[in-house]
Amino acid sequence: MVLSRCRGDVLPVSPSHSELGCESSGEVKVKRKPVIYGLVAVVSAVVLFVAYYLYLGSTVPTGQQPLVRLDNSNIESLKKSFNDSADSVRVMVMLSPT
C-alpha cells in the first residue's frame, strides 16, 4: 500500500508505480454484471431451497407413518383418532405458514 500525495488516501498499489497526477479519485469501480449474476445466483438458490423444503422434503423415516395434510375432508378422522387414544400421551402441533 502506498499513501497518496494528493489527499492522503491509501492506495492498493506497489511502491514501484508512480503517480502521474492526482486524477485518481480513490473510488473502487465495481463491474455491474458480476454483481447482478451473483445476486441472481443467491436468489435462485434461496428459491430452490424453499421449494425443496416445502414441497419435496416431506419424506419420513422408515417405520414412521406418512405425513398427512389436514383439510376439511379428513379432519373428522383426526378427531376420532385423537379421542380414541385417551389412555396414551397425545401431542398435537399445528403450524401455519402465515
User: Which residue ranges in the chain fall short of pLDDT 70?
Assistant: 1-30, 57-58, 98
Cell numbers at 78, concatenated:
383426526
Secondary structure of residue 41 in the 3-state scheme? helix
pLDDT for 42 equals 96
Q: How far is CA 64 from CA 10, 75, 82, in A?
A: 63, 20, 17
Domain range summary for the chain, segments of one domain joined by + = 1-59
pLDDT for 81 equals 87
